[in-house]
Amino acid sequence: MNDFNYIGNKLHCESVPVDSIAAKVRTPFYLYSTETLTRHFKAFDSAFSLPHITCFAVKSCSNIAILRLFARLGGGADIVSGGELFRVLKAGMDPKKIVYSGVGKTEDELRFALGAKILLFNVESIQELETLQGVAAEMGIKAPVSFRVNPDVDPKTHAYISTGLAKNKFGIPIEQALEVYQQAEEMANIDTLGVSCHIGSQLTDLSPFVESLNKIKGFIRKLEGDGIAISYLDLGGGLGIRYDDEEPPHPSAYADAIMKEMGEFDCTLILEPGRVIVGNAGILVTKVLYTKTGEKKFIIVDAGMNDLARPSLYGAFHSIQPVERRDQGTEIVDVVGPICETGDFLSKGRELPICERGNLLGVMSAGAYGFTMSSNYNSRPRVCEILVNDDSFHVIRKRETYDQLIAGESIPDFLKK
Ligand SMILES: Cc1ncc(COP(=O)(O)O)c(C=O)c1O
């Protein structure tokens, strides 16, 4: 359920007509609903009745206003870079609810996060562990560590967002993990506190989650047998959403399946949901610039693959809806952007209401991995982000300017002559 609905013929976000926002901020723009964000966060978080922390996956949607909202709702953060750490601290998140994932943390990033006193580092390799030990020793402190274990489970999702298979770059292979924990136990500046895993994104079936939890449970028993006690079990994110006709489990079914398996374990659970909270809480609003007909009919809009990469990158489906419905009939069209790439499309061969120049379209379910994956490709300023709260809207990120596009660039002296 989300708060993007037609009232009369006009698409609204909560009680604000989308066209009234477009008239003020121009297009394209990302538009989020506070009500949907809040409801989705609470539905997920309250589904777990065991001790847990919901660490929102910042990579999915990283605007500091949205992070502040989740912090207010009691959430934490799963970060994957120093930049994300900077954001979550600015947003006022409690460092003791921050976990740091990712295969390639630099020494500087490790130092920054150690200084911020985050809850856990999800370490993904021996070399990362050794580097963390070195940095923590230099700082005279202990690093709280959880190892990301790769359980070799097929998440049955798109290959680019599968992370829990042995052939993926993520985590430590489960059969090598015990040795790594033993090594960590010997390190003076490492405090081994947890086990983590994340097998992939946009999962629409619960069985891979359960299979991976079972493997991890078996591994935790081995650790216990070796005298290594675990306080945190981080199950990552990955719960899918409906973009088209998928039927993903409700967060309560996901939570029930996990809690049932948790049984005898009394560690604090950490969850890292991203898409399931923000995916359907945001849309991308774009305007039809031109239409043209040849072998195909093209609707050329002002948002491109630099603004929303998912269709080009994964062949992902996003429903496209008119911001104003009229009795205009339908036709089969490709909706494409202004980027100089044939791969620049938002949808292909889709039956849509007939569009004319100037019409506004809502690219739905764009709240996750939408703005955060956007770029300046073709020197296009990144779009603005708007947050609706009931009957008001707020610019939570300004549209970039041309000056900002070249702000870090300079012409060296030898080219000035
Ligand atoms: C380590 C980790 N945690 C959590 C997530 C969030 O996944 P999702 O948005 O599918 O919930 C990701 C995304 O790939 C991830 O890599």
Task: Tell how far the Cα of 61 is from the centroid of ligand 1, in angstroms.
Answer: 11
- Distance of alpha carbon 214 from alpha carbon 147, whole angstroms: 17
To test the pocket of ligand 1, the residue of 44, 60, 254, 314 to mutate (highest count of ligand atoms within 8 Å of its CB) is: 60
* Model pLDDT, residue 159: 74
**Contact 148 CB / ligand 1 (< 6 Å):** no
CB 337 within 8 Å of CB 374:
no
Q: What is residue 232's DSSP assignment? A: E
* Model pLDDT, residue 265: 82
Superfamily of domain 102-271: Alanine racemase (3.20.20.10)
Q: What is the residue-averaged pLDDT of the chain?
A: 95
CA–CA distances in Å: residue 150 to residues 125, 163, 166, 281, 357 = 11, 8, 7, 30, 50
* Model pLDDT, residue 291: 97
Residue 414, C-beta contacts closer than 8 angstroms, at least 6 positions apart: none
When pLDDT is averaged across residues 135-152 and rounded to a whole number, the result is 95
Q: Which atom of ligand 1 is nearest to the CA of 60?
A: 9
Q: Which atom of ligand 1 is nearest to the CA of 238?
A: 10
Catalytic amino acids? 340
Q: What is the DSSP string of 103-125?
A: S---HHHHHHHHHHT-SEEEE-S
For residue range 373-410, what is the model confidence (pLDDT) as tens digits?
A: 999 999 999 999 999 999 999 999 999 999 999 999 99
Residue with CA nearest ligand 1 atom 12:
237
Inform me whether the pLDDT recorded for 255 exceeds 90: yes
For residue range 2-56, what is the model confidence (pLDDT) as tens digits?
A: 899 999 999 999 999 999 999 999 999 999 999 999 999 999 999 999 999 999 9
- Within this chain, domains 4-31+279-405 and 102-271 share the same CATH topology: no
CA–CA distances in Å: residue 416 to residues 73, 127, 133, 409, 410 = 54, 45, 47, 14, 10
* Model pLDDT, residue 161: 65
* Model pLDDT, residue 306: 98
Q: Which atom of ligand 1 is nearest to the CA of 202?
A: 10
**Contact 101 CB / ligand 1 (< 6 Å):** yes
To test the pocket of ligand 1, the residue of 45, 54, 78, 121 to mutate (highest count of ligand atoms within 8 Å of its CB) is: 78
Inform me whether the pLDDT recorded for 164 exceeds 80: no
Q: What is the DSSP string of 127-138?
A: HHHHHHHHHHHH
pLDDT band at 264 (very low <50, low <70, confident <90, very high): confident
When pLDDT is averaged across residues 60-67 and rounded to a whole number, the result is 98
Beta bridge partners of 128: none
Residue 218, C-beta contacts closer than 8 angstroms, at least 6 positions apart: none
When pLDDT is averaged across residues 136-142 and rounded to a whole number, the result is 98
Q: What percent of the chain has pLDDT over 90?
A: 91
For residue range 192-240, what is the model confidence (pLDDT) as tens digits?
A: 999 999 989 999 999 999 999 999 999 999 999 999 999 999 999 999 9
**Contact 238 CB / ligand 1 (< 6 Å):** yes
Sorted by where each begins, the domain ranges of the chain are: 4-31+279-405, 102-271
Q: What does CATH list as the number for 4-31+279-405?
A: 2.40.37.10
Task: Tell how far the Cα of 221 is from the centroid of ligand 1, in angstroms.
Answer: 26
C-alpha closest to that of 352 among 314, 305, 319: 319
Task: Tell how far the Cα of 391 is from the centroid of ligand 1, in angstroms.
Answer: 32
* Model pLDDT, residue 59: 98
pTM: 0.96
